[in-house]
Amino acid sequence: MQTSNATSLTSRHVAVIGAGASGLVAARELRREGHQVVVFEKDSQIGGTWVYTPQVETDPLGLDPTRQIVHSSLYKSLRTNLPRESMGFMDYPFVPRAGEGSDPRRFPGHAEVLKYLQDFAREFGIGEMVRFECEVVSVEMVDNKKLKVKSKRRRLDGDDDLLDEVFDAVVVCNGHFTQPRIAEIPGINLWPGKQTHSHNYRTPEPFRDKVVILIGSSASAMDISLEIGGIAKEVHIASRSVADDTCEKQAGCDNIWLHSMIESAHKDGSVAFRDGNSIIADIILHCTGYKYCFPFLKTNGIVTVDDNRVGPLYKHVFPPIFAPQLSFVGLPYRNIPFPSFEIQSKWIAGVLSDRIVLPSQEDMMEDVNTLYSTLEDSGVPKHHTHNMGDTMSDYSVWVASLCQCPCFEEWRIQMFYETVKRLHANPKTLRDEWEDDNLLLQAREDFSKYI
């Protein structure tokens, strides 16, 4: 650890795990604050989720722990579910690129997002901090409040090089859209059909002429149901968020029905819904989200994932006992991901340089316990602990104020809510028709500062 005289900020040796959007911006903010950063990335390129691959896993439900894991869950046709203006980092707008191969749409395809992240990494020289094809296999606290990071790198001869290094701090940016969550269905073990998870969905072809039950109501579930509906015999969406007696044809779709949740599955191939209907189905597709997973973290049970709650964490970032040496970027969801990562990263960078002071360990624990009690009192299940919902704006403004930096602009938040509203009302036209031209104007005005 060194102290910089020029700025009187403490400079630390920091490991960042992952070179997706959160790891890239964390690396940038840490270096801006004067830290020395090594980014570990198990893939051979940056981008994380946004590196599309046609490859799928051998176990379509992702239950076999020994399977070869594919990181990205993108499907081939995916276009963003947020408009590009609100998606980008605050000081590096996600505007259409000039030149061949650019995708100037407001809701572009996934390749455009990867290109944006590559441009971002190049612009800020982040690539030079990244060790590619280098997977972190363990992180543990050592006596002197430092962290030992064990990593492995595949050699050309097929063997692994293992390396132990000690860092002042570790920032976990490993993403949380890889390990599938599966719906529990009574009787499913006897049901003879096929099951898969959207993590392993790439194209609709395997569903041609099939009767498909799709569980879920997220943006991906909506997209995939429409895409499969184009070639499947029937698509039946089972959703937790509708009333128990729901059974209705989707507007404008002849072969897509919306139902309440599945009640049970049976040996004869039938699946019964809570609405009283029963159908014989070929495939169940779980679009039921993902689990947080940190296989490399060795904390003696102090930091755990319990019913998809990562805890205890002060404000979704610092585990009080290991703060500030260990931190997490990007756990909250139902928010605007990239700018939120940026603000959390500024906070971590400032705390590690001693510019920003954290509350005492006891006070942070008390804050965590207060959050847990509030959630419990309001009937919010544990697995929604990191769901930002209506608190997105307050949370981000609060973190930004600690960092003494501006929070992201109000128009981004309004665009986010506008998009969520239209996702359910107009899923087919969401990405090509909009009514928020006033917000678009504000965005363009703000972007002129950076372009």
Residue 112 interacting with ligand FAD (CB under 6 A):
no
CB of 267 to ligand FAD, least distance (A): 33
Binding to ligand FAD (CB under 6 A): which residues in 232-271? none
Provide the minimum distance between the beta carbon of 23 and ligand FAD in the complex, in angstroms, as a whole number.
Answer: 5
Residue 20 within binding range of ligand FAD, rule CB under 6 A: yes
Report how far residue 380's alpha carbon sits from residue 386's, in angstroms, rounded to the nearest whole number: 11
Question: Rounded to the nearest whole angstrom, what is the least distance from the CB of residue 362 to ligand FAD in the complex?
Answer: 30
Q: What phi and psi values does residue 107 have, to the nearest 5 degrees?
A: -115, 80
Q: Does 85 bind ligand FAD (CB under 6 A)?
A: no
71 lies in the binding site for ligand FAD (CB under 6 A): yes
In whole angstroms, what is the distance from residue 112 CA to residue 82 CA? Answer: 13
Nearer to ligand FAD, 42 or 106 (CB): 42
Sign of CA dihedral 440, 443, 447, 449: positive
Selected from 16, 31, 48, 322, the binder of ligand FAD by CB under 6 A is: 48
Q: Which is nearer to ligand FAD, 22 or 217 (CB)?
A: 22
Q: Which of 291, 288, 309, 281 is nearest to 380 (CA)?
A: 309
- Least distance in angstroms from the C-beta of 47 to ligand FAD: 7
The residue within the footprint of ligand FAD, chosen from 89, 116, 257, 296 (CB under 6 A), is 296
Binding footprint of ligand FAD, residue count (CB under 6 A): 32
With contacts defined by CB under 6 A, name the span among 43-51, 226-234, 249-257, 415-423 that binds ligand FAD: 43-51
Asked if 194 contacts 283 with a C-beta cutoff of 8 angstroms, the reply is yes
Distance in angstroms (rounded) separating the CA atoms of residues 342 and 23: 10
Binding range to ligand FAD, per CB under 6 A, among 14-22, 301-309, 310-318, 405-413: 14-22
Residue from the set 11, 22, 179, 196 that interacts with ligand FAD by CB under 6 A: 22
Does residue number 93 form part of the binding site for ligand FAD (CB under 6 A)? no
Report in angstroms the alpha-carbon separations of 435 from 252, 432, 441: 21, 10, 12
Minimum distance, C-beta of residue 339 to ligand FAD, in the bound complex (Å): 9
Q: Report the residue from 15, 21, 228, 242 that binds ligand FAD according to the rule CB under 6 A.
A: 21
Looking at beta carbons only, is 126 or 136 nearer to ligand FAD?
Answer: 136
Q: Which is nearer to ligand FAD, 106 or 259 (CB)?
A: 106
Print burial letters for 414-436: b (CB count within 10 Å at least 16), e (below 16). Answer: ebbebbeebbeeebeebbeebeb
In Å, how far are 57, 66, 191, 263, 288 from 187, measured between CA atoms?
Answer: 25, 26, 7, 9, 18
Q: What is the DSSP string of 94-144?
A: -PPPPSTT----SS-BHHHHHHHHHHHHHHTT-GGGEETTEEEEEEEEETT
Q: Name the helix (H) or strand (E) containing 31.
A: helix 21-32
Count Cα neighbours of 414 within 13 Å in the Cβ-side half-sphere.
Answer: 13
Nearer to ligand FAD, 270 or 414 (CB): 414
Compute the least distance from the CB of residue 306 to ligand FAD, in Å: 20
Residue 340 burial (10 A CB sphere; 0-12, 13-18, 19+)? buried
Please report, as residue ranges, which positions from 130 to 149 form the binding site for ligand FAD (by CB under 6 A).
135-136
Which H/E stretch holds residue 278?
A: strand 278-280
Q: Rule CB under 6 A: choose which of 11, 80, 288, 327 binds ligand FAD.
A: 80
Q: Return the DSSP state at 209.
A: T
**9, 19, 141, 212: which one binds ligand FAD (CB under 6 A):** 19
The CB-of-28 to ligand FAD minimum distance in angstroms stands at 13
Coil, strand, or helix at residue 301? coil
Residues at the site binding ligand FAD, with contacts judged by CB under 6 A: 17-23, 40-43, 48-50, 71, 73-74, 80-82, 87, 135-136, 173-175, 177, 220, 296, 330, 337-338
